[in-house]
Amino acid sequence: MERLILGYVTDGSLETVTAEDAVRLTHINLAFGVIRDGLLDMSHMPHIGEVDRIRKMNPKLKFVLSVGGWGAGGFSLMSRTEEGRKAFAASCLEVVEKHGLDGIDIDWEYPCDNSAGIDCDPSDRENYTHLLQALRDALGADRIVSIAAGAGNYFIEGTEMEKVAAICNYVQLMTYDMRSGFQMEAGHHTNLFTSSGDRLNGSVKSSVDAFHAAGVPKEKIVIGAAFYSRRWDGLPDVNHGLFQMAETVGQYGAGYTRLTEEFINKNGFVRYWDDEAKAPFLFNGSSLISYDDPESIRLKCEYLKAEGLKGIMYWDHGSDPSRALLGSMWTAIHKA
C-alpha cells in the first residue's frame, strides 16, 4: 500500500513550495476555500495559479482543495436540503475542473457542534453524510473526496463515520490541538500515546482506535502531525509544568523552525522528552510549549506503518521553512 504524505498549504505559502517539497509530498491540501451563499467561494485563494508551477515539478502530485477550516461556517444550512447540497457540489466540480484539481477535502469543524461559533443543527449528523455523497456523485469515482476530522469522540458522535468512510478515499484525523485554546491544563497537544497522569487521555492512538471502532477501516486513516506549537504560561515549577494548571489556555505557538531558532534549549527553555507519550516539550520554569519534532514525527510514521494506516498529514507547510519535519516524515515513510 502506498503511504500518503499530505501537507496543508495555505494560499500565502503556495509560493514557497519547492521542487524538493513537491517530490516528498503525495498530496497538497490547498487551504482554504469557503462557503458563501451556499456555494464554494475561492476569494481566499488568490494564488491558486501556483498549482500549475508546482505540478510541473512532480506531475504525480495530487492537489485537493480543502473547504472550511476553524470558524468557517455555511455547512449546516447548505447541507439541510438536497437542492443545497447539489448546488454546492456542482460549484466544487466547476472549481476542480477550472484549476485541474484532483478533489475536494471537507474541513467542517464540526457537525452538530457550535464551539467554533458557526451554525449547527442536530440534523448535521445525517446531512454530513448526504453532503459527502453529493460531492462523490458530482466529482465521480476517479476524484478524491476526503475529510479532516476532529480527533475526539465529539466528532464521531456528530457524524456517521462508517457511512462517511465508505464514501471518502481517506479520513484525516486532526491529531493536534488535542489540548488547545480551551484547556488551561498544560500538556501535549499532538502526542502519539497517552502518558500516566494525563487526565484528558487524548493521543494519536486513542483517536485511531476510536475512529476504527466507529467503522473507519485502518487503511483509510491518515493521522496528523503539527508543524506549530501550543504554549501555556503561568505554570508552577512542578513536573516541568506537565499536566499542571496554567494561567492561560493553550495559545497557538511558534512554528518548528522558529522553535529551533529561539526556544529549543535557548532563552531559558529546556527540551524534555516524555517517553510514554513519545512527545517532546519545552519548559522554562513557568511556560510550557508542546510540539512535534523529527523524533516524534519518526515514531508516528513507524506507528502508522505498523498499524497499516493510510498515511500522515500536517498543519501547516509554512510553519517549518527549514523542512526538518517534512524531511523526517519522508525518510521514515520510505525507510524499509
Active-site annotation, residues: 109
User: Residue 188 — φ and ψ, nearest 5°?
Assistant: -75, 145
What DSSP designation does 245 have? Answer: B
283: β partners: 270, 288
Helices (H), 25-81: 50-57, 75-78
Distance CA 150, CA 304 (A): 18
Q: Centre a 10 Å sphere on the Cβ of residue 209 and count the other Cβ atoms it contains.
A: 12
What's the N-to-C CA distance of the chain in angstroms?
A: 13
Give the integer Cα–Cα distance in Å for 147 and 160: 13
Query: If we measure between CA atoms, which residue out of 11, 13, 110, 111 comes closest to residue 70?
Result: 110
Cell of residue 132, nine digits: 459527502
Contact 108, 68 (CB under 8 A): yes
The radius of gyration of the chain from alpha carbons, rounded to an integer in Å, stands at 19
DSSP lists the bridge partners of residue 171 as: 147, 221
d(CA 251, CA 52): 36
